[in-house]
Chain A
Amino acid sequence: MEVSITVNGVVHASDVEPRTLLVHYVRENLGLTGTNVGCDTSSCGACTLHLNGEAVKSCTVLAVQADGQQVATIESLAVDGVLHPMQQAFMENHGLQCGYCTPGMVMASIGLLNENPNPTETEVRYGLEGNLCRCTGYHNIVKSVLAAAAAATANSTTSSTHEGASA
C-alpha cells in the first residue's frame, strides 16, 4: 500500500505491506534504528516514538495508520550536536545503562511532561509504567524526568518557553 508519512520533518512516500508495523517501517524502510524492539506484546515500550506529538508504542500502530501523519523518532531530538533537555537530563542523572530501553524511555518521558509538566515522583513512576528497564531499577530514570521537568519550569519562568516538554 502507498503511504506518505512525515518522519522527523521529512515526507516519505513508501509502498508497504499492510501488516508492516510502524516500528518496522521506521527501522527497515527508513533506517532509523534508534527506535528499538524489546518484545512482541506491546509491553516493554522500547519502541515508543511520537505520532502527531503524542508518545505511542510504534509496535501498536500499523504503518498504514500513520499515512499522512507526523512521526518523530529519537533521531530527531538532538539538534546540531546539542542534546534535547530530556536527553541531557538522562545523561546527567545516569538514567541509562545499557541504553536499549532509553530511546523509548526518553520519548515516553517527553510525552509525559507534555501532558503533565510538573509531575510528582509518583506520577512519573506511574506515567512510565508502560516502559520497562532492566538495568537502572528506575531510580535514576525517575530522577532524570524530575530534573528535566524542573529545568523546563525554571526555563519557562525566565523565557516563557517549554523547551523541556517539546518534542
Chain B
Amino acid sequence: MTVTDERPAGVIGTSMLRREDPALLTGESKFTNDINIPGALYLAVLRSPYAHANIVSVDTSAASALPGVIAAYSGAQLQDLWAAPMPCAWPVTADMKNPPHFPVAIDKVCYCGDGVAVVLATDDRIAHDALELIDVQYEPLEAVIDLEDALSDRVVIHPDAGTNRSYTWDLKCEGHEGIVDEAFAAATHHVKERYIQQRLLPMFMEPRACASVPQPFGGDVTLYSSTQIPHILKVMSALTLGIPEQHVRVIAPSVGGGFGGKLNVYAEELLCLALSRKHKVPVRWNEERSENSMSTTHGRGQIQDIELAADENGKLTAIRVRILGDMGAYLQLVTPGVPILGAFLYAGVYDIPVAYDFSCTSVFTTMTPTDAYRGAGRPEATYAIERAMDALAASVGVDPMEIRRRNFIQKEQFPYTAFSGLTYDSGDHQLAADKAAEMVGYDALRERQKAQNVAGSTKRLGIGVSSYFEMCGLAPSRVLASLNYSAGGWEAATVRILATNKVQVITGATPHGQGHETSWSMIVADKLGVAPEDVDVLHSDTAISPLGLDTYGSRSLVVGGVAIDMACDRVIDKARKIAAHQLEAAPEDIDFVGGVFSVKGSPDRSTPLAAVAFAAFTAHDLPEGVEPNLEAHVTYDPPNFSWPFGTHICVVEVDTETGSVDLQQYVAVDDCGNQINPLIVNGQVHGGVVQGVAQALFEVAAFDENGNLLNGSLAEYMVPAACDVPPVTTGHTITPSPTNALGVKGIGEAGTIGAAPCVINAIVDALSDLGVTNITMPASPMTVWKAINAAGSPTAATSAATPNSTSTESTESTESTEEGASA
C-alpha cells in the first residue's frame, strides 16, 4: 500500500487536459450510427411536404413490394403500438391545450416534416428508395406561420382544441396590484419596444440516430440513442409504449452535441422501440441533415413586447412584458416551458423589487415544434432587457455602461429576493462590467468611435454591451412543482472505492461534449486524495447509472457535480470509522487530509485511504455495525437555482454602403463562481458566444407563406464557419456560490445568453447617429442596409429594420416604438 500524498496539492482549478479527447481524436469513440448491430433493419420516415393538410389516403403497397423492404406502415396502421401520445412533461397551466401527437400522423399533418408513413428495410438506401413509392393523397389546408395570425384563430390547426392558443401564463407581483401601472404613470422615461426572436435550428453536428435492440425471449429492449436524456427517455418511452419501465434500457453512446435539440422524446426513438419489438429484430434510424431541419425541434420563436418605466435619472421603476410564443405544430417534451424559463429574467441584473408584470401567450403554428435550444427562454429574456436598456440609455442620454451602473443590483444586496420570490444567491455585476470595460479598452473605444463616426463616414464603429443574469442549474424540485413541471430537478451520484483504492463514479448527468469525465474525476481526486487517472466515471447507460435526470439547463456541475462531492463526503465518513477502528481512536478525532487518515494532534498515527479501502473490502476487521466496502449514493436536490452572471462587450464596424457587419472584437467576462477546470469553462464560453453571435448575425429558420422551410440544409442555413467569427477574449470574476459546497455556478449557456444582445446593441450603436434604433435578427447585410436606408428616408419616424424577407416573422411588425416618449 502506498501513500498517495506525493501528488500536487490539488487539481481543482487547473486546466487539466480532457481524458475524453484521445478516443474522440482517433475515431475510437462510437457514436450511435457507428455501432455495428448485426441483422438490424433500417427505418425511414416519409415526411409531409405540406405544412397543413388532411391525409386522404396512404398506399404503401408499391413500397412493400420493393425487394429488401420488410414492411411499410401508415400512421393508422401503427396506432395500436402506442399506449399514450408522445409526452409533454410541462403542462404550464391547468387549461393548457395539448393536442394528441403521435409518432406518425393519422388524419392530418400539421407541419412540413410531420411523419405520414414508415418503411423498414434491410438497407438504409433501400428504405429511402421505398419512401418514393408510397402514395399519399393530401387535401391541403392553409398554413399558419405568423404568430399573430395564429392567435386570431383564422385557421384553427387542431379543431378538437378549438383554438390555436395553447396557454396564457402570468407572473405578477402578488399583493402589489396596480404598482406597475402607477410606476408607468409616474415615469419620466417610458421605453416600449418590440423584439423578434427568430426561429433557430440547433444544428448539433451529429444528426440524430437511434437503434433499438430487442430481446424477444427475455422481454427486454435496449435503445441506443444520440440523446441528452437517456434517463428521461427511458421513463417516457416506457409510458408511451406501455412497456414495464424495468424492461427498458437506454444507452447514449458518444453524443455529438445537443444544445437542447436532443433533450426530447422523439418519434423515431419510439418507432424504433415499437417496431423492433413488433418485428423481434433490431431496428435503427439515422437522421439525414436536411431531415434534421424539419424533424428535430427548433429553438426560440417569440415576439417580445417589453416596456420599461424609469425615473428622471434612468433608474428603473417597473417592467412590463408580453410574449407571444411559437409552439410549432405540437408540444414536445418541454415546449411550453421554454418561455416560462425566461419569465423570471426580464429584469435581468437590475433592481426591480416588485414592479414586474409578465404574461406569455403561446400559440400553435404549422411549423416544426419548438423546444429548448441553448439557454431556452433565458437568451430571449436577456435579449429583450438588454436591448431595452440601451433604448433607455438613449432616452436618458447616458452611456449604456452608465445606465447599467445606475440599475445594477448592488453587491451588498445579495442574497437578493426578487419580485418572483426567487433568491439570487450572489453577484457583483459592477465588478464584471468594470472588468469587461477595462479588458476591451472601453473609454478609448468611445474616443475612437467619436473620431470615426463623423458625418459621411461609411465605416461606422459600434460598441455593444450586455450584462446578464443566468438562472440555471435546473432545478429545485419544489420550484419545478410550482411551475407544474412533471419531474424533479435532482441528480444522482455514486462513489465507490474499490479494493485497490481505485474509484468508480457513477453520475446521472449525461455528457455530450462537456467533459464531465474529466471534471468529475478532478472533484473526486481532490476530495479523496487520489490521482485523477485512478477515478473512472461511468454514465449515460440506464443499466449502469439507473438514476439520473441528465444534462441541460447548465445543471451538470451545479447539481450532478455537487452530488459527487457529497457522495465523496459520505464515503469519507464511513472510511473514517474504519480508520478510527484501525488507529484505536474515536472517529471524531480522525483527520482526513490528502488521502490519509490521522489522529488529531498525532500525525504519525495514520493510515492511508488505500489501507482503509482494502480493509473495507476484506471485511475481516470492521468496527461494529459498519458494512463492508466503501460506497455511497447521493441524490441531491438543489435548494436554489444557480445564478452565474457577467458582462460582454463587443466591437463592430458597419459598412453603411453594403450593410455588412464586421465583428472585430468580443470580450466576455463571466462569473461562474469557482472553476473546476478553466480550460473547459473557457471552451464553454467560446462556443456559447459564437452560438449567440450566430443568432445575432447569421441564423434564421426561414419559412415561406405555405410553411415550407426554405433553408433546411447546411448549404443554406448559415452556421458560422471559423472565418465568420472573431476570437473570443474571455475573462472572469469569481463570486463563489454560497448555495453549494463547491461554490460553483453553471457556465454552459452563459455565452449564448450574453452574446446576441451584445452584438445587436453594437450594430445599433454604430448606426444610432443615422437614426437607426433597432435591427431585427439576424442582422444580415440586407437587413442592416434596409434599416439604414429606412432610417435615412423622410418616412422613417421610427426604425424600420426589416427581417429576412422569407422569415417566419417577416410579416409582423418590427417597428420599435419611439424610445424617448416621456410620460
Partners in one complex: yes
**A96 at interface by CB-CB < 8 Å:** yes
**B20 at interface by CB-CB < 8 Å:** yes
Q: Which residues of B contact A31 (CB under 8 A)?
A: 36
Q: How far is the CB of A106 from chain B (nearest CB, A)?
A: 7
- Docked-complex contact B289 and A134, CB < 8 angstroms: no
Q: State A43–B691 Cα separation when bound (angstroms).
A: 18
Tell me the residues in window 678-706 of chain B with beta carbons closer than 8 Å to chain A beta carbons: 679-680, 682-683, 686-691
Q: State A24–B515 Cα separation when bound (angstroms).
A: 29
Q: Which residues of A contact B20 (CB under 8 A)?
A: 99
- Docked-complex contact B25 and A134, CB < 8 angstroms: no
**B639 at interface by CB-CB < 8 Å:** no
**B479 at interface by CB-CB < 8 Å:** no
- Stretch in contact with the other chain, from A60-68, A83-91, A147-155, A156-164: A83-91
Q: Which residues of B contact A92 (CB under 8 A)?
A: 17
Q: How far is the CB of B82 from chain A (nearest CB, A)?
A: 30
Q: State A90–B17 Cα separation when bound (angstroms).
A: 10
Are A99 and B254 CB-contacts (below 8 A) given A91-B17, A124-B722, A134-B259? yes
A136 partner, pick from B29, B207, B686, beta carbons under 8 A: B686
Q: Which residues of B contact A100 (CB under 8 A)?
A: 31, 204-206, 254, 256-257
Chain A residue with the shortest CB-CB distance to B730: A139
Are A38 and B207 CB-contacts (below 8 A) given A33-B34, A132-B714, A139-B727? yes
A73, A91, A103, most chain B CB atoms within 10 A:
A91
- The dominant DSSP class at the A interface is loop
B17, B18, B714, B728, most chain A CB atoms within 10 A:
B714
- Docked-complex contact A134 and B204, CB < 8 angstroms: yes
**B203 at interface by CB-CB < 8 Å:** yes
Are A75 and B27 CB-contacts (below 8 A) given A41-B289, A97-B514? yes
B17, B30, B207, B728, most chain A CB atoms within 10 A:
B207
Q: State A126–B31 Cα separation when bound (angstroms).
A: 28
- Docked-complex contact A99 and B29, CB < 8 angstroms: yes
Tell me the residues in window 5-54 of chain A with beta carbons closer than 8 Å to chain B beta carbons: 19, 27, 31-44, 46
Q: How far is the CB of A44 from chain B (nearest CB, A)?
A: 5
- Docked-complex contact A78 and B26, CB < 8 angstroms: yes
B205 partner, pick from A33, A41, A44, beta carbons under 8 A: A44
**B741 at interface by CB-CB < 8 Å:** no
A40 partner, pick from B22, B288, B688, B751, beta carbons under 8 A: B288
**A131 at interface by CB-CB < 8 Å:** yes
Are A75 and B686 CB-contacts (below 8 A) given A41-B715, A92-B17? no
**B537 at interface by CB-CB < 8 Å:** no
Q: State A34–B31 Cα separation when bound (angstroms).
A: 9
Q: How far is the CB of B634 from chain A (nearest CB, A)?
A: 27
**B78 at interface by CB-CB < 8 Å:** no
- Docked-complex contact B257 and A134, CB < 8 angstroms: yes
Interface size class of B (residues with CB under 8 A): 35 or more
Q: How far is the CB of B287 from chain A (nearest CB, A)?
A: 10
Q: Which residues of B contact A46 (CB under 8 A)?
A: 205
Q: State A122–B27 Cα separation when bound (angstroms).
A: 28
Q: How far is the CB of B778 from chain A (nearest CB, A)?
A: 16
Are A125 and B722 CB-contacts (below 8 A) given A44-B714, A135-B257? yes
**B24 at interface by CB-CB < 8 Å:** yes
Q: State A134–B205 Cα separation when bound (angstroms).
A: 6
Q: State A103–B25 Cα separation when bound (angstroms).
A: 6
B513 partner, pick from A38, A91, A103, A135, beta carbons under 8 A: A135
- Docked-complex contact A87 and B713, CB < 8 angstroms: no
Are A138 and B725 CB-contacts (below 8 A) given A36-B206, A41-B289? yes
- Docked-complex contact A136 and B25, CB < 8 angstroms: no
- Docked-complex contact B713 and A39, CB < 8 angstroms: yes
**A141 at interface by CB-CB < 8 Å:** yes
**B621 at interface by CB-CB < 8 Å:** no
Q: How far is the CB of B711 from chain A (nearest CB, A)?
A: 11
Chain A residue with the shortest CB-CB distance to B254: A99
Chain B residue with the shortest CB-CB distance to A78: B26
- Docked-complex contact A97 and B25, CB < 8 angstroms: no
- Docked-complex contact B205 and A38, CB < 8 angstroms: yes
Are A40 and B713 CB-contacts (below 8 A) given A33-B30, A137-B686? yes
Q: State A78–B23 Cα separation when bound (angstroms).
A: 11
**A4 at interface by CB-CB < 8 Å:** no
Chain A residue with the shortest CB-CB distance to B34: A33
**B719 at interface by CB-CB < 8 Å:** yes
Q: Which residues of A contact B455 (CB under 8 A)?
A: none
Are A138 and B722 CB-contacts (below 8 A) given A38-B207, A91-B21? yes
- Docked-complex contact B22 and A34, CB < 8 angstroms: no
Q: State A142–B751 Cα separation when bound (angstroms).
A: 19
Q: Which residues of B contact A99 (CB under 8 A)?
A: 20-21, 23-25, 29, 254, 256, 513
B719 partner, pick from A87, A97, A103, A134, beta carbons under 8 A: A134
- Docked-complex contact A77 and B26, CB < 8 angstroms: yes
Are A34 and B686 CB-contacts (below 8 A) given A97-B514, A99-B513, A141-B722? no
Q: Which residues of A contact B688 (CB under 8 A)?
A: 137
Are A38 and B24 CB-contacts (below 8 A) given A126-B723, A134-B687? no
**B290 at interface by CB-CB < 8 Å:** yes
- How many of chain A's residues have a CB under 8 angstroms from any CB in B? 57
**B94 at interface by CB-CB < 8 Å:** no
Chain B residue with the shortest CB-CB distance to A31: B36
Q: State A46–B289 Cα separation when bound (angstroms).
A: 12
Are A91 and B22 CB-contacts (below 8 A) given A43-B715, A134-B257? yes
B255 partner, pick from A98, A126, A134, beta carbons under 8 A: A98
- Docked-complex contact B513 and A73, CB < 8 angstroms: no
**B28 at interface by CB-CB < 8 Å:** yes
Are A132 and B721 CB-contacts (below 8 A) given A75-B26, A83-B22? yes
Chain B residue with the shortest CB-CB distance to A86: B25
Q: State A90–B20 Cα separation when bound (angstroms).
A: 12
Q: How far is the CB of B797 from chain A (nearest CB, A)?
A: 39
Q: Which residues of B contact A74 (CB under 8 A)?
A: 25-27
Chain A residue with the shortest CB-CB distance to B291: A40
Q: Which residues of A contact B574 (CB under 8 A)?
A: none
**B512 at interface by CB-CB < 8 Å:** yes
Q: State A78–B24 Cα separation when bound (angstroms).
A: 12
- Docked-complex contact A35 and B27, CB < 8 angstroms: yes
B204 partner, pick from A98, A125, A139, beta carbons under 8 A: A98
Q: How far is the CB of A27 from chain B (nearest CB, A)?
A: 8
Q: State A37–B33 Cα separation when bound (angstroms).
A: 10
Q: State A142–B690 Cα separation when bound (angstroms).
A: 14
Q: Which residues of B contact A140 (CB under 8 A)?
A: 683, 686
**A133 at interface by CB-CB < 8 Å:** yes
Chain B residue with the shortest CB-CB distance to A100: B256
- Docked-complex contact A134 and B691, CB < 8 angstroms: yes
**A2 at interface by CB-CB < 8 Å:** no
Q: Which residues of A contact B24 (CB under 8 A)?
A: 96, 98-99, 102
Q: State A36–B204 Cα separation when bound (angstroms).
A: 13
Q: Which residues of B contact A32 (CB under 8 A)?
A: 27
**A129 at interface by CB-CB < 8 Å:** yes
Q: How far is the CB of B227 from chain A (nearest CB, A)?
A: 13
- Docked-complex contact B687 and A97, CB < 8 angstroms: yes
Q: State A96–B254 Cα separation when bound (angstroms).
A: 13
Q: State A143–B466 Cα separation when bound (angstroms).
A: 27
Tell me the residues in window 1-49 of chain B with beta carbons closer than 8 Å to chain A beta carbons: 17-18, 20-31, 33-34, 36
Q: How far is the CB of B817 from chain A (nearest CB, A)?
A: 34
**A165 at interface by CB-CB < 8 Å:** no
Q: State A166–B727 Cα separation when bound (angstroms).
A: 27
B residues with CB within 8 A of A: 17-18, 20-31, 33-34, 36, 125, 203-207, 254-257, 259, 288-290, 512-515, 679-680, 682-683, 686-691, 713-715, 719, 721-723, 725, 727-728, 751
| Ranked 3 nearest A-B pairs via Cβ | A34-B27, A99-B24, A100-B256
Pairs across A and B, CB under 8 Å, 6 listed: A27-B34, A34-B28, A100-B257, A102-B25, A138-B686, A141-B722
18 new A-B pairs (CB below 8 Å) besides A19-B125, A137-B728? A33-B27, A38-B207, A38-B289, A39-B715, A40-B290, A43-B715, A91-B22, A98-B255, A99-B25, A99-B254, A132-B205, A134-B719, A135-B513, A135-B683, A136-B687, A137-B686, A140-B686, A142-B727
